[in-house]
Amino acid sequence: MAEIHGKTGGIYNSTALIRGVTISFDNVTSQIRDSANGLVAAGFVAGQKITVIGSADNNTNFTIAGGGVAVGALTLTGTPPVNTEAAGALVTVYLQPSGTAVAGFHSWELSKDADTVEATDFEDAGVKAHVLGGTGWNATGERNWQDDNDVWGGDAVGSPRWVRFFLKYVADPSGGDPAYYYEGLSHVKTGTVKTEVNDIVRQTFKFEGCGALTLITRTTAWA
């Protein structure tokens, strides 16, 4: 069952995750390949359902085939098909984490944004015109570090972590009462610790999204 300290959000560790510019895709062999040979060390095992982000043509969910894990390649089931793609883009391949957070928030603030690029021409008669650039998101989470069972020290700073921001937390969503939350992969940019005399230790984390932020309605039990 899920355990969320703070109940409004949390940081989650993925047991299998790799991120780099050495990852390619091959349709003929139905493989995700890593020329740096880091796939076994990243924690992937046969049968896992994995997610790809950052690629040009393979941003979807795949399943690793039986016996399909080697240091340089993950062989997939073939459904969905893999699109051939050369290495070079910053690609992330990861296993979505279970329902147990390594650190939870008692409050959070989330912001989505979009870049705009000015595209004013003489024909615009002095009225500025813009085109839409990239979109992204960032967030801040605050927690009280006082629980004997919640002694995580914040070693995620500078690395990608899965984050969930709960609009409504439910311990067992399979009982007919769904949980609602945003979730996405992010870089943990900063982790601040603050304490005062006769007060509890408080932590603040700042996140910058490195993948899509998705609003989830969960009606199944936590893994």
Query: Residues 16-74: pLDDT tens digits?
Result: 999 899 999 999 999 999 999 999 999 999 999 999 988 999 999 999 999 999 999 99
Residue 15 within a domain: no
What is the rounded CA–CA span in Å between residue 184 and residue 164?
7
Residue 60 within a domain: yes
Based on the fold, state whether residues 48 and 107 are members of the same structural domain. Answer: no
Of the residues 89, 109, 130, the one at which a domain ends: 89
Q: What is the average pLDDT value for the chain, to the nearest integer?
A: 88
Mean pLDDT of 167-177: 91
Based on the fold, state whether residues 104 and 60 are members of the same structural domain. Answer: no
Domain total for the chain?
2
pTM (2 d.p.)? 0.77
pLDDT at residue 28 in the model? 97
Based on the fold, state whether residues 179 and 114 are members of the same structural domain. Answer: yes
Whether 108 contacts 141, CB under 8 Å: yes
Residue 16 within a domain: no
Residue 5 within a domain: no
pLDDT at 98 over 50: yes
What is the rounded CA–CA span in Å between residue 30 and residue 94?
17
Based on the fold, state whether residues 130 and 197 are members of the same structural domain. Answer: yes
pLDDT at 149 over 70: no
Based on the fold, state whether residues 65 and 103 are members of the same structural domain. Answer: no
Residue 148 within a domain: yes
Amino acid letter, 105: F
Residue 7 within a domain: no
Based on the fold, state whether residues 60 and 104 are members of the same structural domain. Answer: no
pLDDT at 173 over 80: yes
Domain hosting 29: range is 22-89
Based on the fold, state whether residues 114 and 214 are members of the same structural domain. Answer: yes
pLDDT at 132 over 70: yes
φ, ψ at 125 (rounded to 5°)? 55, 40
Mean pLDDT of 195-213: 87
Of the residues 89, 115, 144, the one at which a domain ends: 89
The token duo for 24 is: 């390619």
Mean pLDDT of 181-200: 88
Based on the fold, state whether residues 56 and 135 are members of the same structural domain. Answer: no
Residue 11 within a domain: no
Of the residues 56, 89, 122, the one at which a domain ends: 89
pLDDT at 1 over 50: no
Based on the fold, state whether residues 110 and 190 are members of the same structural domain. Answer: yes
Based on the fold, state whether residues 106 and 193 are members of the same structural domain. Answer: yes
Based on the fold, state whether residues 123 and 211 are members of the same structural domain. Answer: yes
How crowded is the C-beta side of 204, counted as CA atoms within 13 Å?
Answer: 7
Based on the fold, state whether residues 83 and 167 are members of the same structural domain. Answer: no
